[in-house]
Amino acid sequence: MPVAVEFATITEMFDRLTAKFADERRPVLMEKVEGRYGAISYSELRRKVELFALGLASVGVKRGDHVSIISENRPEWIVADMGMLYLGAVNVPIYPTLTAKQVEFIFNDSGVKAVVVSNQLQLAKVLKILPKVKSLKKVVLMTPGQGASDDRLLSFPQILKEGELFERHNPEYLSRALDLAMRDDLVTIIYTSGTTGVPKGVMLTNDNFVSNIKSAALVIPFGPDDVLLSYLPLCHSFERMAGYYTAMSCGASIAFAESIESVRENLLEVKPTVVTTVPRLFERFSAGIRRQVDSSPPLRRKLFYWAVNVGRQYAHAKKHGSVTGTLKIQHVLANRLVYGKLHAKMGGRLKYFVSGGAPLAREVGEFFEAVNWAAREALPVIFFIQDNKFAISVPVTQQTAGASIFEATKGFKGLERTNVDGTNFMATYDVMVKAVERARKGEGPTLIVADVVRLLPHSSSDDHGKYRAKDDIEKDKAQDPIPKMKHFLIEQGYLTDTEAIQMQEDIKSKIDAAK
C-alpha cells in the first residue's frame, strides 16, 4: 500500500509520520526487556530522536559530519540514525562482528567524528583504536549502567540529558536544521565487505532511499495493522530500507528480535504479520521441516507430502482461475491438518515473508507457496517478485518505480542480464570521490579505468539476481562509459569541462589498449 505520509527526505518522513500518529496507542517500535516485549510510542520515539540530535549538536556534531553506529538491532539504533539525520549528519553503520582493525580502517577512511556503540564489547574495540583515529572526538555508549571513564565517552542517558540542556538555550536549533534537509543530501555511507579489495563506502542520498521506499511500498503491502519482526542487521541496506524505512513509512510496527538465535522464540511472542529475511533462512527452514517430517512415522510423512502436493496444485490452479470444488475442499483440509500447524510455529498471524539480499531459489519459493505462505522477493529494490510468480531467466515480474530498464543483453558467458538506472541507485563510492579529489590536486595516482567506471551511478543484475560491478560489465561488453562518467563528474563539481575532456581522452586510450 502507499506510504502513510508524503515526503521527500527521510527526516521529513519521520517528522510527518510521528506527528500524524502522535496520539496512537499502538507502538512504532517493540523491544524485549526483562523477559517481555514493551512498546515505544510514536511520541516517545520522536522526543528521544530530538534529544539525541540536540545532544550530538551539543558535543560539536554538525551538518555533513560522519557519525558511526556499531550495534545490534535495538531501538537506540533507530534513535541514533534519525537523530544524526535530523542534524544533516551522515550515518556510517558498521557490522558489530567486524574486528577493531576493520573498524579502524572505516573510521579513518570516512573521517568519523563520533560513534555510537551498543555495549562494552564494541566499546573495547573503539577504545583500542581511539589513538589511531584522529577524527574521532566522541563515543556514546547505549547500554545503561555502564559508565565512562574518559571525557570523550558519554552514556546514552547522558547524551539525551545534554540534548535537553542544549535545547533550553537553542530552542529553534532543530527546526532550522530540519529546514536545511535536501533530497540530494548524503544520508549514509555503507561500506562493502572488501572481498574484492579494500572496503569501499557506498554513498546513498535521500533521493536514493526515498525513491526505493516509495517503490517498495507500492508492492510490499505494509500497513498500520502490520507488525514486522526485525532480525537482519540494520547496518545492511536491505533491512534498513525494507524492514525499517519502508515499514515505518507505511505505519507498521517494528519489533526487534533479541538475536538471530532467538528468532523462533520471538516469533511466538511477537506474532508478526511480516518478516523480512534472506534466502538462507528460507532454505534452512524448509530443509528443517523436511528433515523433521522424514524422521516421523510413515503416515505423518504421507500426510505432509500429500498436503504439499495439494498446495502446489491449488496454487497453479488459482493462477489460472481453474480451482475445482474438490481441490478447494482438499486445500481446506490440508490447511487444517498441516499448514495451520506450521503457521502456528511462526506465531499464527504471518501473512508473508519478504526475501532480499540474494536470489531466492525457485523450489524454495514454491515450497512456501504450497504451504500457504506468500514468499515475496525483493532485490533491494529494483524488481519485485509477487503473487507467487517466479520468472526463470531473469527474476523480474514487476519493475518498481524509480528504476528504468535501459538495456537487456547477453553478457558474460551468455547469461541474460538486465541493466537499470534510476534515482534508487547510489551516488558513487566515497573512496572514488576522494580519489578524484586527490587526482585533481596532484596528490594521488591517476585513476585506473575500473575506478572511474565504478563512479557511474549504475548497477546490474544477472539471471541469478546477483549484482555485478559496472567494471565487470564493461569487460563483458564494449559499452562506452565516458558520457555518463563525464556528466556525473562535472555535475558534482569534481571536474571542469576542460579537465573532463582531457580525462575522457586518457580513459578512451586506456580502454582501447585493454581491448
Residue 115 has what pLDDT? 98
Establish if 128 belongs to a structural domain.
yes
Same domain for 284 and 268:
no
Phi, psi of 202 (to 5 degrees): -80, 120
Q: pLDDT for 406-420, tens place per residue?
A: 333 323 233 333 333
Same domain for 322 and 225:
no
Residue 318 has what pLDDT? 87
Same domain for 284 and 271:
no
Residue 354 has what pLDDT? 81
Residue 393, classed as helix, strand or coil, is coil
Establish if 394 belongs to a structural domain.
no
Interatomic CA distance for residues 28 and 34, integer angstroms = 19
Same domain for 185 and 149:
yes
User: Which cell numbers in the block locate residue 170?
Assistant: 537553542
The rounded radius of gyration (Å) of the Cα atoms in the chain is 25
Same domain for 283 and 432:
no
Residue 198 has what pLDDT? 76
Question: Could you tell me if 222 and 246 are in contact, meaning their C-beta atoms sit under 8 angstroms apart?
Answer: yes
Domain end, chosen from 354, 385, 416, is at: 385
Looking at residue 174, which CATH number applies to its domain?
Answer: 3.40.50.12780
Residue 72 has what pLDDT? 95
Q: DSSP state, 412?
A: G
Domain end, chosen from 249, 275, 301, is at: 275
Enclosing H/E stretch for 85: helix 75-87
For the stretch 504-513, contacts whose Cβ atoms lie closer than 8 Å and that sit 24 or more positions apart, written own/partner, are 506/446, 507/449, 507/452, 507/481, 507/482, 508/482, 510/448, 510/449, 511/449, 511/474
Residue closest to 20 by CA, chosen among 50, 41, 48: 41
Neighbouring C-beta atoms of residue 245, cutoff 10 Å: 23
Same domain for 343 and 269:
no
Establish if 15 belongs to a structural domain.
yes
Residue closest to 68 by CA, chosen among 128, 133, 11, 18: 133
CA torsion, ordered 97, 99, 104, 109, to nearest 10 deg: -60
Dihedral sign of CA atoms 14, 15, 20, 23 in order = positive
Interatomic CA distance for residues 347 and 342, integer angstroms = 9
Establish if 141 belongs to a structural domain.
yes
Residue the block writes with cell 547524551: 159
pTM attached to this predicted model: 0.75
Same domain for 282 and 258:
no
Bridge pairing between strands 90-94 and 384-385: unpaired
Same domain for 500 and 442:
yes
Dihedral sign of CA atoms 72, 75, 347, 307 in order = negative
Enclosing H/E stretch for 81: helix 75-87
Establish if 2 belongs to a structural domain.
no
Q: DSSP state, 502?
A: H
Number of domains in the chain: 3
Dihedral sign of CA atoms 134, 137, 142, 147 in order = positive
Residue pLDDT tens, the chain, 515 long: 689 999 999 999 999 999 999 999 899 999 999 999 999 999 999 999 999 999 999 999 999 999 999 999 999 999 999 999 999 999 999 999 999 999 999 999 999 999 999 999 999 999 999 999 999 999 999 987 555 567 889 999 999 999 999 999 999 999 999 999 999 999 999 998 766 667 888 888 998 899 888 888 887 778 999 999 999 999 988 899 989 999 999 999 999 999 888 988 999 999 999 888 888 887 888 888 889 899 999 999 999 999 999 999 998 898 888 999 999 999 999 999 998 888 888 888 988 888 777 777 778 878 888 887 765 554 444 333 334 332 222 222 333 434 333 333 323 233 333 333 444 444 444 444 454 454 445 444 333 322 333 333 333 333 333 333 334 434 433 444 445 445 545 554 545 566 556 655 655 554 455 44
Same domain for 345 and 315:
yes
Residue 98 has what pLDDT? 94
Same domain for 240 and 161:
yes
Its domain, for residue 316, covers: 278-385
Residue closest to 450 by CA, chosen among 478, 471, 475: 471
Establish if 38 belongs to a structural domain.
yes
Establish if 457 belongs to a structural domain.
yes
Phi, psi of 400 (to 5 degrees): -80, 155
Q: 385-417 b/e with 16+ CB inside 10 Å = b?
A: bbebebeeebbbbebbbbbeeeeeeebeeeeeb
Residue 390 has what pLDDT? 29
Same domain for 260 and 208:
yes
Establish if 182 belongs to a structural domain.
yes
Domain end, chosen from 256, 275, 294, is at: 275
Our measurement of the distance from residue 339's CA atom to the centroid of its chain's CA atoms, rounded to an integer in Å, reads 31
User: Which cell numbers in the block locate residue 197?
Assistant: 579489495
Same domain for 182 and 97:
yes
408, β-bridge pairs: 418
Residue 260 has what pLDDT? 85
